Chain A
């Protein structure tokens, strides 16, 4: 299992570096926008996980009783007091705002980074391996196109309180788009054949012809400008994440393989 161990080792380092970098970028670029959106979400009537149009059924009953505890609440929105009083009860444990939330974000970024790095290193080894940081940057670009750009066209990054279709259906579409785009790019890059390249283009386009699952209603309390800002921030932070991930894989792999021609002959 030398090869497996080496792949995991390289992926762990690359995922750690890129994940921490991504978490720091998110702290400035995306998380403030999520927090802003959550203010809109609270005003709208709680953390509704399905269509924002459907208020929680308990709100109407408790609205009057809770009114004394929410003096500043807008009188036009009766659901607001109940939603502010008990969001945690509805959704289970969540990290406290501030440092704890940031810490969990760092951890989940690092874990996600290691996951992506494992896939990146394993797949690139099939194609001969990422030899240096520059090759890594190109592999990173491919990862960005596969995991951010392609699914993001049909399912743009969402802020909390934005309407969306059924979660499982979106996850299936996301996964299918990623797989189709990855196969497509692989065919273009590694098969020097015109018919296969045409097939690749069809594969990349197909998920968007099928179309991503769309919500019943597009009504949302989130301002259009805020969402647009978020889409740009998510796309750019993920671009940098993938470039860093690929480059670090190239650097670490080059350092440990040394003169060895392939990863399996290295520091075993």
Chain B
């Protein structure tokens, strides 16, 4: 995301490391939220069996 970290190789600063990992976790949370928690009907219906089988709150 921030251009400074692109050039950083093996010696990633701890702040950049934190940011990158936090970003990855945030992306994962967003994906889970979209598939499992979206109130959009089409998304709900497409993932219906999955939502029930993952025990996400559904319906």
Contact indicator A171/B24 (Cβ below 8 Å): no
Whether A112 is near chain B, meaning CB under 8 Å from some CB there, is yes
Number of interface residues of B (CB under 8 A): 42
Which listed residue (A3, A95, A116, A173) contacts B28, Cβ 8 A?
A116
| A119/B25 in contact, CB under 8 A | yes
Q: Which residues of A contact B58 (CB under 8 A)?
A: 158, 164, 167
**Which of A60-68, A70-78, A100-108, A197-205 interfaces with chain B?**
A100-108
If A49-B59, A158-B59 touch, whether A7 touches B20 (CB-CB below 8 Å) is yes
State whether the Cβ of A219 lies closer than 8 Å to any Cβ in chain B.
Answer: no
Shortest Cβ distance from B8 into chain A, in angstroms? Answer: 7
Asked whether A39 is an interface residue with its Cβ less than 8 Å from the other chain, the reply is no
Judge if A115 is at the interface, Cβ distance under 8 Å: yes
- Surface stretch bound by B, among A120-128, A133-141, A251-259: A120-128
Question: A26 touches which one: B8, B31, B41, B53 (CB < 8 A)?
Answer: B53
Residue of B nearest to A165 (CB): B57
Contacting residues, chain A, for B50 (C-beta < 8 A): 23, 26, 105, 108-109, 112
Does more than half of chain B's interface fall in helix, strand or loop, or is it mixed? helix
**Residue contact B55 to A3, C-beta cutoff 8 Å:** no
Q: Judging by beta carbons under 8 Å apart, are B45 and A108 in contact?
A: no
Q: Do A2 and B53 touch (CB < 8 A)?
A: no
Interface membership of chain A positions 211-236, coded 1 if the CB is closer than 8 angstroms to chain B and 0 otherwise: 00000000000000000000001100
Total A residues in contact with B, Cβ cutoff 8 Å: 62
The binding surface of chain A is classed by DSSP as: helix
The reply to whether A108 and B25 contact each other, CB–CB distance below 8 Å, is no
Name the one of A23, A118, A120, A264 contacting B10, with C-beta atoms under 8 angstroms.
Answer: A264
Min Cβ gap B29→A in Å is 6
**B residues with CB within 8 A of A:** 1, 5-6, 8-10, 12, 16-17, 20-25, 27-32, 35-37, 39, 41-42, 45-59
**A–B Cβ pairs within 8 angstroms, 27 of them:** A3-B12, A4-B20, A8-B24, A22-B53, A26-B49, A31-B53, A34-B48, A49-B59, A50-B59, A91-B45, A94-B46, A115-B31, A118-B24, A118-B25, A118-B28, A119-B28, A122-B24, A155-B55, A157-B52, A157-B53, A158-B52, A167-B58, A170-B57, A234-B52, A234-B55, A238-B53, A264-B12
